[in-house]
Structure 1
Amino acid sequence: MNFAIIGCGFIAKKHAKAIEAVEGATLVAVSDKVPSAMEFYVNEYGVDPYEELDLMLDRDDIDVVSVCTPTGLHAPLAIKAANAGKHIILEKPIAMTLEDTDRIIDACDYNNVKLSIVHPNRFRPVVRELKKILDQNLLGKISHANAIVNWNRNQEYYDQALWRGTKEFDGGALMNQAIHNLDLLLWFMGEPEQIFSMEATRLRQIEAEDVSTGLIKFKSGALSVVEAATTAYGQNFEESITLFGEKGTVKIGGKNAIYFEYLEVEGMEEEVNALKARVEEDPFGVPGHQCIIDDMVKAIKEERKPAVSGEEGRRSLELVLSFYESAKVNEPIQMIKEKEYANN
């Protein structure tokens, strides 16, 4: 299948490398308004460059497009690609608003094209192993969970481009950095019911938040603490998720949530060390973007939804926007889910 990339910034290189690594996938074109941004892909992969996106989308031989632009531009570009009959891989988060999200999903449904959202952490070995433990109900009833992202994004990071850290195109620590962690939390814990959050912009000169703390009550009755920040000094400090159940406690952690930092589960005493060692041998596994590309190829062939569909991408955005709304009104709120779009 032939792939194309829209937007040739930093993250596009991961898509290009992943496409090259997937059997049956070939990168044939890229599009960017800045010609120099496309030079690397022309020289490295021999692709055709397009300053005019419409000309690229007119090509009948392109099956899938990866949208790698700032988030605030996702909706118009994804909808245009869907209307051109292209399947779409969309970088996280799916969009900045639920209104734009539903416009994207509706356009893909109307044009009968597939939509995959890039939440690659789901494919990490430690995450897969923890999901197996949960699917087998080995932890029993979950009492509560902690989800933490304390990373470093210094001022130079935000100053690289005018859109970084803006509410219109990028968002802050929750929307941009912690969104993967929140996606995993939802995958593990199910549907949230009530949200309470506080946020601040403490150290970075940006419009959006650089630190956020919040609480979630899930429909199951379980509770969760969420902490997200880009203000850690010097370097990334921690990304982790900890689950506390009646039959065990599990923490996946490290700087990128790739190891079992703690694993104690009733009935698994003999398996724990082997499982931890197996993960530590290859903590990243197959690169997540490669898994996303490979899954899209298979989803098209098998006529099924991608593993991380538009609806799945919507769930993590719902949570972020609910945090934002709670912080705005400074009180607990019900989870924002319906097409009653909040003005954040």
Structure 2
Amino acid sequence: MVNFAIVGCGHIAKKHAEAIQKANGADLLAVCDTDPSKMREFIDLYNIEGYVNLEDLLKNNEVDVVNICTPSGFHASIAVSVAEAKKHIVVEKPIAMTLEDTDLMIDACRKNNVKLSVVHPNRFRPVMIKLKETMDKQELGKLSHANATVRWNRNQEYYDQAGWRGTKEYDGGVLMNQAIHNLDLILWLMGDVEEVYSMEATRLRNIESEDVSTGVIRFKNGALGVIEAATTIYPNNLEETISVFGETGSVKIGGKTASLVEHWNVENMNDEETIDIIETVKADPIGKPGHECIIEDMVEAVTEDREPIVTGLDGRKALELVLAFYESAKTNRPIKIN
């Protein structure tokens, strides 16, 4: 068994705890939070230890992996301490709030020979796996462009749950918090980015960061991309879509959580193959929950001594894209990404 501990006992920690309990080869040993009351539910439910001090948790030699579920602005300092204690890391998205902090995390993990995985679970959705396989075989031909749309609702009550929500230092806006998953998917599917241009606004929510953002991308392969993200949609989540268009294929993945095939037309796939993809996805659109996949992947990465599927570098690329959008919106000019 690979033993896990969770730092930060807020809402997302519940998903991590459930995933660890269900994942093959994983066991939850402990939680840590500066507020003892937030740990109580976890301690009672799972019969595990609770720590109010990170240093004390890291002295527990039975803990192999630490899952960081704190507000994003605290990820880097915690991760460096965890890496120096020779424990592997699963960190919630975004990996950090700045590239400087991200590089500190990656360097600390490299120096201490520990694994670093970033929670971008949408890669594990059945339809995304199939789309990635199709694109890796170059069955869409020369790529024209791609589109990522997040039209969701996060009302003021959501942001008022905690003082850090919607702040630039600890949370970020719709790009950093919600759409970063979609940016990770776009990078995973389309490759590295050369240049971006973006506009953003804070229209309806009383927060420091943006609640609506639009932007365009030029990928290094010459294809273009369009990003639209908002938490201002009335009254509930409307849609999350990923579309990719190429010389010999067009695919649109949609629904409220980008998990269903809305369009799939690939030149070298016959009708039977296409229908099979659509019906297979429809029968089980979510598959194994993404957090559970992330945990099982970390277990295998530790036991097989390999890199996790979603690495620290992957997390850095997604963050770099968000920050480039922010810089473009602030300066009203295109931003090159090296």
Whether these two folds match at TM > 0.5 is yes
The answer for unaligned runs of 5 or more in structure 1 is: 338-344
1:249 partner amino acid: S
Alignment-derived partner of residue 341 in structure 1: none
Pick the aligned partner of 2:293 from 268, 291, 294: 291
- Per-residue deviation, 1:24: 1.8
Structure 2: 5+ residue stretches without partners: none
| Aligned-residue offset at 1:35 | 0.7
Q: Is 1:155–2:156 an aligned residue pair?
A: yes
**Partner secondary structure for residue 20 of structure 2:** helix
Render the CA deviation track for 1:199-243: whole Å, top value 9, x for unaligned. Answer: 000000000000000000011110011001100001111111111
Q: How does 1:195-344 map to 2 (within 5 A)?
A: 195-270=196-271, 271-335=273-337, 337=338
Give SS of 1:164's match: coil
TM-score in terms of structure 2 length: 0.99
Distance 1:13 1:327 in 2: 35
Displacement of 1:274 after TM fit? Answer: 1.1
Give the Cα separation in 1 of the matches to 2:192 and 2:77.
29
Matched residue of 1:260: which SS? strand
Query: Structure 1, residues 244-287: CA drift from partner, whole Å, max 9, x if none?
Result: 11001100111100011100110213211111000010100000
Partner in structure 1 of residue 171 of structure 2: 170
Q: In the alignment, what sits opposite 2:65?
A: 64
Q: Secondary structure at the match of 1:61?
A: coil
- For 1:152, the aligned partner's letter is N
SS for the counterpart of 1:94 is: coil
How many residue pairs get aligned? The number is 336
Structure 1 Cα separation of the partners of residues 205 and 24 of structure 2: 42
Distance 1:322 1:23 in 2: 38
Instruction: Tell me the amino acid that sits aligned with residue 173 of structure 2.
Output: G
Distance (whole Å) between structure 1 residues aligned to residue 240 and residue 24 of structure 2: 32
Q: Matched residues in 2 for 1:48 and 1:242: separation? A: 45
Query: Matched residue of 1:204: which SS?
Result: coil
Letter in 2 for 1:299: A
TM-superposed deviation, 1:309 = 0.5
- Alignment partner, residue 83 of structure 2: 82
Letter in 1 for 2:279: A
What is the CA-CA distance between 1:22 and the residue it aligns to? 1.4
What CA distance in whole angstroms lies between the structure 2 residues aligned with 1:238 and 1:181? 12
Name the CA distance, whole Å, in 2 between partners of 1:25 and 1:333: 42
Structure 1 residues 50-75: Cα deviation after superposition (integer angstroms, max 9, x where no partner): 11111111111100000000000000
User: How far apart in 1 are the matches of 2:33 and 2:142?
Assistant: 49
The 2-side partners of 1:146 and 1:121 are apart by 16
Distance in 2 (alpha carbons) for counterparts of 1:190 and 1:24: 32
- The 2-side partners of 1:272 and 1:249 are apart by 12
Runs of 4+ in 1 over 3 A off after TM superposition: none
Partner AA of 2:25 in structure 1: G
Residue 3 of structure 1 aligns to a residue whose secondary structure is strand
Q: CA deviation at 1:177?
A: 0.3
* SS at structure 2 position matched to 1:102: helix
Structure 1 length as normaliser, TM-score?
A: 0.97
Paired AA for residue 321 in structure 2? L
Structure 2 equivalent of residue 24 of structure 1:
25
Query: Identity rate of aligned residues, in percent?
Result: 61
Please show how residues 113-132 of structure 1 align to structure 2 within 5 Å. Answer: 113-132=114-133
CA distance in 2, matches of 1:278, 1:23: 24
Deviations 1:111-170 (A, max 9, x none): 110000000000000000000110111100111111111110000000000000000000
Q: Secondary structure at the match of 2:236?
A: coil
SS at match of 1:89: strand
